[in-house]
Amino acid sequence: MSNDNDIILSSATSMSTLTINEVSKDGFGYNPSVGPQSNIITPEASTFLLSSKKSIITNNPNSIYDKNIINKKNLEISLSSLAFLFCEMVNWCHSNSKGIQDLETRLNGLGYQVGQRYIELIKLREGFKTNKREVKIVEILQFIHGTFWKAIFGKTANELEKSQDVLNEYMITDNVPLMSKFISIPKEYGELNCSAFMAGIIEGALDSSAFFANVTAHSVPITGYPLRTVFLIKFDDSLSIRESLRS
Partner 1 sequence: MSSYYLTIIGTRDNPLYEVEFSSFKPNSSSTSSSASASSIPGRAQFAPDVREILPFIANSSLDIIDDSQWSTSNFNLGRVDSFYGLVVNAFITQGNVKFVLCYDNVGSGTNSKYDDNLIRQFFIDVNDLYVKCLLNPFYRVNDAIVSPEFDIKVKLLARKYF
Partner 2 sequence: MSKSSKYNGDDIWKNNVEKINSELFTLTYGSVVAQLCRDFNNNYHEVNNQLDKMGYNIGLRLIEEFLAKTGVRRCQTFRETSEIISKIGFKIFLNIVPTIENWSSDNKTCSLILPEPNPLTEFVELPITTDSKISKELWYSQILCGVLRGALQMVQLDVDVNFVKDVLRGDDRTEIRLKLNKVLKDEIPAGED
What residues are paired with 173 via a beta bridge? 159, 230
What residues are paired with 247 via a beta bridge? none
Residue 148: name the closest of 120, 187, 168 by CA: 120
Read off the amino acid at residue 193: N
Task: Report residue 129: phi and psi, to 5°.
Answer: -75, -50
| Strand ranges in 178-244 using DSSP code E only, listed in sequence order | 213-219, 229-235
Min dist CB 9 to partner 2, Å, is 17
CB-based contact 93:107 (threshold 8 Å)? yes
Q: Does 12 bind partner 1 (CB under 8 A)?
A: yes
Q: Does 237 bind partner 1 (CB under 8 A)?
A: no
Contacts of 205 (CB under 8 A, 6+ apart): 115, 116, 118, 119, 144, 148
Min dist CB 16 to partner 2, Å, is 9
Contact segment (CB under 8 A) with partner 1 among 50-58, 73-81, 149-157, 188-196 equals 50-58
d(CA 179, CA 198): 7
Q: Does 66 bind partner 2 (CB under 8 A)?
A: no
- Cα 118 to Cα 11, 24, 194, distances in angstroms: 24, 31, 20
d(CA 74, CA 235): 33
What residues are paired with 159 via a beta bridge? 173
Binding mask 189-208 for partner 1 (x = CB under 8 A): -------------------x
d(CA 189, CA 53): 57
- CB burial readout 53-80, b (16+ within 10 A) else e: eeeeeeeeeeeeeeeeeeeeeeeeeeee
In the window 55-94, what residues touch partner 1 (CB under 8 A)?
Answer: 57-58, 60, 63-65, 67, 69-70
Q: Does 119 bind partner 1 (CB under 8 A)?
A: yes
Contact segment (CB under 8 A) with partner 1 among 8-16, 92-100, 169-177, 192-200 equals 8-16
Interface size with partner 1, residues (CB under 8 A): 56
Min dist CB 12 to partner 2, Å, is 10
Contact residue for partner 2 among 114, 171, 183, 185 (CB under 8 A):
114
Binding partner of 36, given partner 1, partner 2, none, CB within 5-8 angstroms per partner class: partner 1
d(CA 220, CA 230): 7
Contact residue for partner 1 among 8, 89, 185, 232 (CB under 8 A):
8
Query: What is residue 158's DSSP assignment?
Result: S
Return the SS3 of 122: helix
2/113 with CB nearer partner 2 = 113
Contact residue for partner 1 among 167, 210, 237, 238 (CB under 8 A):
210
Q: Give me the residues that bind partner 2 (CB under 8 A), please.
A: 14-15, 17-19, 22, 29, 59-64, 74-82, 84-89, 91-92, 96, 109-111, 113-114, 117-118, 121, 151-154, 178
Q: Give me the residues that bind partner 1 (CB under 8 A), please.
A: 1, 6, 8, 10-12, 14-15, 18, 24-26, 28-32, 35-36, 39-43, 45-46, 49-50, 57-58, 60, 63-65, 67, 69-70, 113, 116-117, 119-121, 123-124, 128, 132-135, 208-210, 242, 245-246
